[in-house]
């Protein structure tokens, strides 16, 4: 342990591989999560998000590659890693036959709190998570949202510096989901580092400082939400005219100013104009004013993460990827990372994670 340099990385993983029979569920994933950030791993069902998280959490053996939590080797020091982690899975991992209080006391006692401390911590967490009324009810009678909250509360007993949230809001109604997001924000405000997997683009957009897009066991892109959006799409200027008969005339102006073809929607008196940079909108508006074309409304839209995902993977987030494991969009990315990891474990450069995926962005 003395040889481990101090690091400001909460998670660093290089070339992680997990195979189940013929399926390479995780196929050379590199990750770097900085202290204090929320890092989102975004991808469809079967992309390898949960498997990656389980390897990092000591729940699954790592087939190839290397992972460290706060500099501690996950394979060599699983007991130390477990003391640094709180894990909340896709399915609530609490005891169905026990009450909420009993569950939290049980985990508190296992984590080394004495009886009194375990009880007071349980009471505090139940209050914090709005579960005190259900404190003495068996979990069997809990709703999905309540279970998930209790599960998260159970992960916070020792206030670990790193929390893994595996699809924390899958299957929750919008209100409960909003509450969950609020709780996650509070955790971060408290100094916690969060690694989050999700298949919801808006969730990653809302919560994550940085996002890795995962598809078919590999990272296809990485960056902030804005970087990802900027990398694939261009903004769109939407203009609604007062007089629909002047749409063609306006389109000509756009072509003259930007050299771009505007797409008219006559029924809506609207013109969609692709922009290289958002400030080009001003040039268009000035030119139209000079011509005396009256404008009803103006909006500039960034591409949504959905569009980003489509552009990166060639399919949307709900697609079942396990059925067709070979996709052309992925083939080259996978091949690159794979060679680095399977041939020589120790040689995989740890810092490749930051740059490589953005390069992979065609």
Binding residues vs other proteins (CB under 8 A):
1-2, 4, 35-36, 57-59, 69-72, 77, 79-80, 82-85, 87, 89, 91-98, 102, 106-107, 109-112, 117, 120-121, 124, 127-130, 138, 149, 154, 157-161, 179-180, 182-183, 186, 190-192
* 74/271 with CB nearer other proteins: 74
Nearer to other proteins, 147 or 269 (CB): 147
Q: Which residue, 39 or 107, is less far from other proteins as judged by CB?
A: 107
| Closest distance of CB 74 from other proteins, Å | 12
Least Cβ distance, residue 47 to other proteins (angstroms): 20
CB of 173 to other proteins, least distance (A): 14
Instruction: Assign 65 to helix, strand or coil.
Output: strand
CA–CA dist 199, 273 (Å, integer): 30
Q: Are 59 and 68 in contact (CB under 8 A)?
A: no
User: Of 336, 341, 356, 343, whose CA–CA distance to 65 is shortest?
Assistant: 341
Shortest approach of other proteins to residue 45 CB, angstroms?
Answer: 19
CA 358/CA 338 separation, integer angstroms: 17
Between residues 76 and 289, which has the closer beta carbon with respect to other proteins? Answer: 76
CB nearer other proteins, residue 110 or residue 268: 110
Closest to other proteins by CB, 161 vs 233, is 161
Phi/psi at 306 (nearest 5 deg)? -60, -45
* Strands (E) located in the chain: 9-20, 23-34, 38-42, 64-69, 72-73, 85-88, 162-166, 193-198, 210-215, 218-223, 235-241, 263-265, 270-275, 295-301
**Minimum distance from CB of 100 to other proteins (Å)?**
13
Distance of CA 61 to the CA centre of its chain: 23
**Minimum distance of other proteins from residue 234's CB (angstroms):** 38
Task: Report CA-CA distances (Å) from 296 to 150, 245, 266, 273.
Answer: 50, 14, 14, 16
């Amino acid at each position: 342990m003395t040889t481990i340099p101090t690091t400001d990385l909460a998670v660093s993983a290089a070339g992680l591989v997990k195979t189940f029979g013929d399926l390479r569920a995780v196929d050379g994933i590199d990750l770097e999560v900085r202290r204090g950030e929320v890092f989102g791993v975004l991808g469809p069902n079967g992309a390898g998000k949960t498997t990656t998280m389980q390897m990092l959490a000591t729940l699954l053996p790592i087939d190839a590659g290397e992972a460290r939590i706060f500099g501690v080797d996950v394979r060599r020091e699983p007991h130390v890693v477990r003391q640094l982690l709180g894990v909340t899975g896709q399915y609530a991992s609490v005891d169905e036959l026990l009450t909420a209080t009993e569950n939290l006391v049980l985990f508190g006692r296992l984590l080394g709190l004495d009886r009194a401390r375990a009880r007071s911590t349980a009471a505090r967490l139940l209050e914090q998570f709005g579960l005190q009324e259900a404190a003495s009810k068996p979990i069997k009678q809990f709703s999905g949202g309540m279970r998930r909250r209790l599960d998260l509360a159970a992960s916070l007993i020792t206030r670990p510096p790193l929390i893994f949230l595996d699809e924390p809001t899958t299957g929750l109604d919008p209100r409960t989901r909003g509450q969950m997001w609020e709780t996650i924000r509070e955790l971060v405000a408290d100094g916690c580092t969060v690694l989050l997997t999700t298949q919801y683009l808006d969730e990653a957009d809302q919560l994550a400082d940085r996002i890795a897009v995962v598809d078919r066991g590999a990272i296809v892109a990485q960056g902030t939400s804005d970087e990802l959006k900027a990398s694939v799409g261009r903004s769109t200027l939407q203009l609604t005219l007062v007089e629909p008969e002047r749409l063609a005339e306006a389109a000509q102006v756009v072509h003259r100013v930007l050299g771009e073809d505007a797409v008219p929607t006559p029924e809506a008196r609207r013109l969609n104009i692709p922009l290289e940079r958002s400030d080009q909108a001003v040039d268009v508006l000035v030119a139209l004013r000079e011509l005396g074309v009256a404008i009803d409304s103006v909006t500039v839209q960034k591409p949504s993460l959905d569009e980003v995902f489509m552009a990166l993977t060639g399919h949307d987030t709900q697609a079942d990827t396990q059925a067709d494991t070979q996709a052309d969009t992925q083939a080259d990315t996978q091949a690159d990372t794979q060679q680095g990891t399977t041939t020589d474990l120790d040689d995989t450069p740890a810092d490749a994670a930051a740059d490589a995926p953005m390069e992979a962005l065609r």
